[in-house]
Structure 1
Amino acid sequence: MGFNLLGVAFASDQSGSRSILCKQHSRTLYENFTSTREDVACRGPPEDLLIRWPWISHRPKPVLTFSGETQCNKDGLLQGQKIDSPLSEIGIQQSEAAGQYLRDVKFTNVFVSDMKRAKQTAEIIARNNRTCPDIELVADPSLKERSFGIAEGGRVIEMKNMAKAAGQPLPEFTPPEGETMEQVKVRIKGFLKTMFHRIANEHQDKIQDGETSLADETDRAQAGLPDDGVLNVPVHALVVGHGAYMSIAMKYFFEDLKCPMPRGLDPSQRYSICPNTGMCRFLITLKCNNVDPALSDLKCVFINRRDHIKA
């Protein structure tokens, strides 16, 4: 079973294993989400579940996909977790534009951070959707923004100065009482596991037995359309989160999980700052057995798309 993750993207089992097909098999990914190869070997051949997942980050704002702008963003203040700001007027306009851009994309699941700015963004996008305006929004605290400890509420430039004084790049710097990148990765892994389980349980009817062959849309140039990469994929999840959190998720996808880059994309763009309501899309393949769905493969369709706010 496969699904589309916008911003990023299963199968269940009775006697064999099932997978969310995101297309080529990756041993690295497989071993990251299963116990041992020996244990997997006795489960039999996989069944496939293909899911496309768009991941919208919220900027304080985020990555895979961002939420809209807040007044704190505009004022150059660091929000993190302690400052739970609503969207500014511009943030609302950005979210409306994102909703219009995605209005014909049929989402099967929506996951969102439990912080105000992300929830507002998700609500606006869902309200604009013509295929699923009443879809349930699943709020998950594991999607919260990265905590910046004592730096929260201060100016972003102040944290930049703190990082410089510590001799560390800003993304890798952890202020006192803040979350390290590794701690955020633990939350990302926890969210993925929860999402995989929920999608596998809710979409068992879309699981396919045996090998699944789909045209690899990540290997061709994208047309810049809202439905790039979503053809023939039965499950499409939207994830709305935050900037720093999403940046770490991108690092986790591309470095830890060895996700290949989309054709024609400059590798240096992988970790560039995603704009508010910027979008990334990934294709994920999961192997599902009678214990846990396990990530088998991951491919990126596009990152940091902002066509809806170019004007």
Structure 2
Amino acid sequence: MTRFALTVVRHGETRLNKEKIIQGQGVDEPLSETGFKQAAAAGIFLNNVKFTHVFSSDLMRTKQTVHGILEKSNVCKDLTVKYDSRLRERKYGVAEGRALSELRAMAKAAGEECPMFTPPGGETLDQVKMRGKDFFNILCQLILQEAGQNEQFSQGAPSNCLETSLAEIFPLGKTCASESNSDSDAPGLVASVLVVSHGAYMKSLFNYFLTDLKCSLPSTLNKSELMSVSPNTGISLFIVNFEKGREVNPTIQCVCMYLQDHLNGGTETH
């Protein structure tokens, strides 16, 4: 079995987020003062997590957020960020730059529900899902390839370090290979990946995990949380498991979704 951790963070708040204006891909708004504080707070929360790979959408609000997170890191401040257009927000076409209320009115006029509605020039939910699926598949191939190349050198030490750094702040529980249980078949993590993206995109990606890959969920997670959009800098963690046969889809365990512990009073400092 090959296992890796996937930490997904939504970008910090922008002025247009607060004003409920659709940004999509065409309105490249920077973070607000609150957004920069949120990114810094997320960075402080994650500052001892040892990431091996960092990916981000190539839009300004995600670039600024990932920079704000890595700036606070004690262990991977100099890690290279790979910017990927497949991680961009859903494209909303003619609705970009307009109020969310206008998008809802457009959907109503078309006789559709807002999340399912595609404005002229926008992406369908299926198109967003395919972008997410494509990114995830390429990521899995990369991790499996690197794990195969490094297998003869790793011998567990780096993976224990990755797992331990996550376990300090996340409720890994049974998803974690227990150091005290020598009979455990679960190997350590071969990689720990940080992804910074967008609300609607993340919702689509997580829906793919849940519906197509049958992702298991913690008992503390209720259905309303699954149907919602992540708050700004909400943190979600998944453990991805591959069996020996690489042609088979991975199994995914959700450790937490839309965690906001770092925002409880943390945005007023640093």
What's the TM-score bracket when you normalise by the shorter of the two chains?
0.7 to 0.9
Q: 2:107 aligns with which of 163, 186, 192?
A: 163
Q: Is the CA contact 1:277–1:306 (under 8 Å) kept in the aligned structure 2?
A: yes
How far has the Cα of 1:78 moved from its partner? Answer: 0.5
How far has the Cα of 1:155 moved from its partner? Answer: 0.7
Residue matched to 1:113 = 57
Q: Identity across aligned pairs (percent)?
A: 39
Tell me the SS of whatever aligns to 2:67. Answer: helix
Deviations 1:89-136 (A, max 9, x none): 110000000000000111011111011110111111111111111011
Residue matched to 1:63 = none
How far has the Cα of 1:294 moved from its partner? Answer: 5.1
Matches within 5 A, 1:118-129: 118-129=62-73
Change (3 A) 1:101 1:121: same
Q: Distance in 2 between matches of 1:128 and 1:194?
A: 28
Residue matched to 2:196 = 240
TM-score in terms of structure 2 length = 0.82
Change (3 A) 1:172 1:288: farther
Farther-moved stretch of structure 1 (138-147 vs 198-207): 198-207
How far has the Cα of 1:205 moved from its partner? Answer: 5.4
Q: Distance in 2 between matches of 1:164 and 1:302?
A: 34
Residue matched to 1:301 = 255
Matching residue's letter, 1:264: T
Residue matched to 2:135 = 191
Q: Distance in 2 between matches of 1:251 and 1:243?
A: 12
Q: Distance in 2 between matches of 1:165 and 1:173?
A: 10
More helix by share: 2
How far has the Cα of 1:85 moved from its partner? Answer: 1.2
Q: Is the CA contact 1:149–1:178 (under 8 Å) kept in the aligned structure 2?
A: yes
TM-score in terms of structure 1 length = 0.72
Residue matched to 1:60 = none
Q: Distance in 2 between matches of 1:192 and 1:257?
A: 12
Q: Distance in 2 between matches of 1:225 and 1:173?
A: 41
Residue matched to 2:91 = 147
State yes or no: 1:50 paired with 2:6: no
Q: Is the CA contact 1:54–1:282 (under 8 Å) kept in the aligned structure 2?
A: yes
Residue matched to 1:268 = 224
Matches within 5 A, 1:1-311: 48-56=1-9, 66-204=10-148, 207=151, 226-229=169-172, 232-287=188-243, 295-311=249-265
Residue matched to 1:8 = none
Q: Is the CA contact 1:70–1:87 (under 8 Å) kept in the aligned structure 2?
A: yes
Q: Distance in 1 between matches of 2:101 and 2:11?
A: 22
Farther-moved stretch of structure 1 (276-285 vs 190-199): 190-199
Deviations 1:198-240 (A, max 9, x none): 22333435659xxxxxxxxxxxxxxx96243266424110010
Tell me the SS of whatever aligns to 2:201. Answer: helix
Matching residue's letter, 1:247: K
**Aligned-residue CA RMSD (Å):** 2.3
Q: Distance in 1 between matches of 2:237 and 2:211?
A: 17
Q: Distance in 2 between matches of 1:136 and 1:287?
A: 29
Change (3 A) 1:268 1:207: farther
Q: Distance in 2 between matches of 1:288 and 1:198?
A: 16
List gaps (5 residues or longer) in structure 1: 1-47, 57-65, 209-223
Bigger relative contact order (CA 8 A; separation at least 6)? 1
